[in-house]
Amino acid sequence: MMAARLLGTSSKLAKLTMHFHTARVAFLPIVQFKLSDIGEGIAEVQVKEWYVKEGDTISQFDKVCEVQSDKAAVTISSRYDGVVRKLYHDVDGMARVGQALIDVEIEGSVQEEEQPKKEASKSTPQPSKETGSAPESTQSDGKVLATPAVRRIAIENKVKLSDVRGSGREGRILKEDVLRFLGQVSADHVSGSTNIRTTHQAPSPGAKSVSSQFQAELFLQTVNLKYEPLKEDVSVPIRGYTRAMIKTMTEALKIPHFGYNDEINVDALVKIRGEMKDFAKERHVKLSYMPFFIKAASLALLEFPGLNATTDDKLEHVIHKASHNVCLAMDTPGGLVVPNIKNCEQRSIFEIAQEINRLMEAGKRQQIGREDLVGGTFTLSNIGAIGGTYASPVIFPPQVAIGAIGKIERLPRFDRHDNVIAANVIKVSWCADHRVVDGATMARFSNRWKFYLEHPSAMLAQLK
């Protein structure tokens, strides 16, 4: 009798123990979501914007925050399903790689997610009501680690996960890995920029001076602004693009520059752009003068490949680049940034215009991705957009040449019959690396570029 009672008590204790064990596993653990290495030797980033707040429920692949390095803007996505319990940084604060960004209360057992592979291979217990479904990291096909959501994407797209290289922890395959494998990853996965919209640039009036219109608009903007003197000194931290500019310009000014200036009559260009604007509008393209400047430069670079070039670190070789990846020096809220338009030699004027609009919109949001910042071969800077005429542009290393284009001015000039006429004129200022580029080459290139702008029909005739 006593033995039976003891056996019954033992059985109850065993069930109670099992009950407590199950309850412990069912607790919602809190894990730190740390900033992963985003490459390029970047050790810290600036938190530009939070997309979540404490108490928010998030899912895998939801946007957590946007961070800004000295090279590019990156959107950080969640790796977990759960509830945000803590944000570790304020907006504009600095976060270091490997340190926590947020705390997340996970929907499920962190023990299951982080269970070593050896334990998973010891046995394959049947799922029960107490233990729940199989963990997300279960190696259901031998070696592949992936969440059910990722597996669903793979199944829907008929992708064999064993063919996909995982970039997550312990080789776990993420959603981005599958999309990258499918060739569907766009700039949005890197820079977080979606639904890119074109930007409107004020057209040049028919008979009025472009510069006069700009000056009038600038005056109206200025008189409506109220400036007050600072009451005390303000220490402004150097962050984002400005940090990159400091490094780049320090190296750039070690290059022996030489300059070359010229002016171009753009009457024909003003006319042909006016004729193309309506056609461009039908194609939802905002057509400024910059696409013409870039295309003319690309055509001229075909004749002078030594200017579409970079130098190696030891200055033992000059690499003539096959692609014309023309950089644009852009003034953004975050500072100077120099993205580039890839393969301009293969693009039409309309396609170049679309890329310019995309980059301008991304620059305003400080969301220009790394892929837009690397690989440049030649640079143009449109100083005329803010009213300048001449400049001394600084070469963007390892490139060997740069041009600064001034505003369009309505000026008196002589025609071929020595009559004084009103002409639309721009000034251009070139700088080149005098170690590898001679003055004659720069002048000949400038003359060819000038020819295409003064005779745009010749430029259009060469478009493929």
Average pLDDT over residues 208-216: 48
Residue 162 near residue 184, CB atoms below 8 Å: no
pLDDT for the residue numbered 343? 97
Higher pLDDT: 236 or 342? It is: 342
- The pairing of beta strand 63-68 with beta strand 401-405: unpaired
Q: Does domain 215-223+243-461 have CATH number 3.30.300.250?
A: no
Higher pLDDT: 154 or 277? It is: 277
Residue 171 CA to residue 9 CA, distance in Å, equals 47
Among this protein's residues, is 103 annotated catalytic? Answer: no
Per-residue pLDDT band at 17 (split at 50, 70, 90): very low
Q: What percent of the chain has a predicted confidence (pLDDT) above 70?
A: 74
Q: Is 448 exposed, middle or buried (0-12, 13-18, 19+ CB in 10 A)?
A: middle
Average pLDDT over residues 241-270: 90
Q: What is the DSSP letter of 165?
A: P
pLDDT above 80: residue 198: no
Residue 329 CA to residue 447 CA, distance in Å, equals 22
Peptide bond into 398 cis (omega under 30): yes
User: For tokens 């004084």, what's the residue?
Assistant: 420
Is the torsion defined by CA of 291, 296, 300, 302 positive or negative? positive
Q: Tell me the range of 102-111, 122-131, 203-212, 439-448 where mean pLDDT is highest.
A: 439-448
Average pLDDT over residues 23-42: 71
Question: What tokens does 8 get?
Answer: 């019954």
Average pLDDT over residues 262-280: 94
**Active-site residue, selected from the candidate residues 257, 320, 434, 455:** 434
Residues 6 or more apart in contact with residue 180 via CB below 8 angstroms: none
Per-residue pLDDT band at 224 (split at 50, 70, 90): low
| Per-domain residue ranges of the chain | 26-113, 215-223+243-461
Number of Cβ atoms within 10 Å of the Cβ of 213: 15
- pTM value is 0.59
Residues 6 or more apart in contact with residue 142 via CB below 8 angstroms: 162
Q: What is the CATH number of domain 26-113?
A: 2.40.50.100
Residue 197 CA to residue 449 CA, distance in Å, equals 30
Q: Tell me the range of 1-10, 36-45, 241-250 where mean pLDDT is highest.
A: 241-250
Region of 132 on the Ramachandran plot (φ > 0 left; ψ -120 to 50 alpha; else beta): left
pLDDT for the residue numbered 225? 57
Among this protein's residues, is 438 annotated catalytic? Answer: yes
- The pairing of beta strand 340-341 with beta strand 30-34: unpaired
pLDDT for the residue numbered 331? 83
- pLDDT tens-place string over residues 76-132: 888 888 899 999 999 888 898 889 999 999 865 444 334 333 333 444 444 333 333
pLDDT for the residue numbered 326? 98
pLDDT for the residue numbered 163? 82
Q: How far is CA 259 from CA 428, 429, 430, 445, in A?
A: 10, 7, 5, 13
pLDDT above 70: residue 261: yes
